[in-house]
Amino acid sequence: MSFIQDVFDSLKWLTVWEVILCALNLFVLLRYVLPLLKNNRWFDFIPSVGVIIAVISLFNGDTSILALLIYSSTAILFVCTVGRIFKPAIKPMSLKIRIVMVIVCVLGSLPTLFALSIAGEIRYNPVSDLSHQSYSKAFIAMNERLSNEYPFGDWKQIDWEGQRNKYEPLFLQAEINQDPNLYYKTLREYLFSFRDGHIKITNEHLYDDNNTFKKEVGGGVGISAVRLDNGKVLVSLLLAGSPADKSGIKLGAEIISWDGKDVQKALDQTFWSENPSATEGDRIQNQGRFLARAPIGKEIQVEYRNRGDQAIMTAMLTAYDDQYETLKKTKVKLKKEDPPVEGEILQKEYGYVKIRYFLPGTTQSDPAQALEDKIKEFQEKHVKGIIIDLRDNPGGEDDLVAQMAGHFVNEKKLLEYVSYYNRNTGRFEINRAETRIVYPSQVYFPGKIAVLINHNTASSGEGLPLFLKGMPNVKMIGFTSTNGSFGVVSAPIEMKMPGGYVVRFPDGRSLNRDKTIQGDSDERQKGGATPDITVPMNEQTFRMKVIEGQDVELNYALASFNG
pLDDT digits (tens, 9 = 90+) for 197-215: 999 999 999 999 899 999 9
Confidence (pLDDT) at 34: 67
Non-local (6+) Cβ contacts of 182 within 8 A are 170, 173, 174
Q: Whole-angstrom Cα distance, residue 381 to residue 365? A: 26
The pLDDT tens digits for 412-456 are 999 999 999 999 999 999 999 999 999 999 999 999 999 999 999
Q: Nearest to residue 431, comparing CAs of 3, 12, 2?
A: 12
User: 181 and 188 in contact (C-beta within 8 Å)?
Assistant: no
Distance (Å) of CA 151 to CA 62, 71, 119, 190: 22, 29, 18, 16
Q: Whole-angstrom Cα distance, residue 176 to residue 169? A: 10
Cα end-to-end distance, the chain, whole Å: 48
Residue 440, class by beta-carbon neighbours within 10 Å (0-12 exposed, 13-18 middle, 19+ buried)?
middle
Q: Nearest to residue 395, comparing CAs of 454, 449, 461, 332?
A: 461
Q: Whole-angstrom Cα distance, residue 474 to residue 259? A: 45
DSSP secondary structure letter of residue 488? B
β strands within 409-490, DSSP E? 413-422, 427-430, 436-438, 448-452, 474-478
Confidence (pLDDT) at 3: 67
User: 187 and 200 in contact (C-beta within 8 Å)?
Assistant: no
Q: In a 3-state reduction of DSSP, which class is residue 502?
A: strand
DSSP secondary structure letter of residue 444? -
Antiparallel, parallel or unpaired: β 223-227 and 533-534: unpaired
User: 201 and 496 in contact (C-beta within 8 Å)?
Assistant: no
Task: Find residue 261's DSSP bridge partners.
Answer: 258
Antiparallel, parallel or unpaired: β 254-258 and 200-201: unpaired
Low pLDDT (below 50) residues in the chain: 1, 37
Q: Whole-angstrom Cα distance, residue 80 to residue 88? A: 14
Task: Find residue 494's DSSP bridge partners.
Answer: 504
Q: Whole-angstrom Cα distance, residue 385 to residue 375? A: 11
The H-or-E segment that residue 24 falls in is helix 16-33
β strands within 268-340, DSSP E? 293-294, 299-305, 313-318, 320-321
pTM of the model: 0.91
Taking CB atoms within 8 Å and a gap of at least 24, the contacts of 422-431 are: 422/12, 422/13, 423/15, 423/124, 423/125, 424/12, 425/12, 426/148, 428/151, 428/509, 429/12, 430/511, 430/515, 431/9, 431/10, 431/13, 431/120, 431/121, 431/508
